[in-house]
Amino acid sequence: MTTDISTIPGTTENSKETLTREFKGILGKADHLLKDAGHSVAEELSATRHAIAENACGAANATDAYVRANPWKIVGIAAAAGAFIGALISRR
């Protein structure tokens, strides 16, 4: 005995409402997952940014200490670099 769904009154409307409700639930869960993933990525980015800032600050402090300890060495290196760049430019 086969029953055609179209002959049962209201079945299509109930199926449509059920499907719509389930689809909205799935979209809500997907939205929640995307927001959680976004927050997680933002936290990781913030931690990475903080680590990079700390490393850059440490490198700047180390460079400053080296330059203060060896000022004439730095002047010599800068003069040599300037002479080298000047020689390269004058060849053209």
What pLDDT was estimated at residue 6?
A: 55
Q: What's the pLDDT tens digit per position in 55-84?
A: 999 999 999 999 899 899 999 999 999 999
The chain-wide mean pLDDT, for the chain, equals: 87
Q: What's the pLDDT tens digit per position in 5-20?
A: 555 656 777 888 888 8
Instruction: Determine whether 45 is exposed, middle or buried from the number of CB atoms within 10 Å of its CB (0-12, 13-18, 19+).
Output: exposed
Structure tokens at 23: 């689809």
What pLDDT was estimated at residue 2?
A: 56
CA distance 8 to 67: 88
Instruction: Determine whether 89 is exposed, middle or buried from the number of CB atoms within 10 Å of its CB (0-12, 13-18, 19+).
Output: exposed
As a whole number, mean pLDDT of residues 34-59 equals: 91
pTM over 0.75: no
DSSP letter for each residue of 29-85: HHHHHHHHHHHHHHHHHHHHHHHHHHHHHHHHHHHHHHHHH-HHHHHHHHHHHHHHH
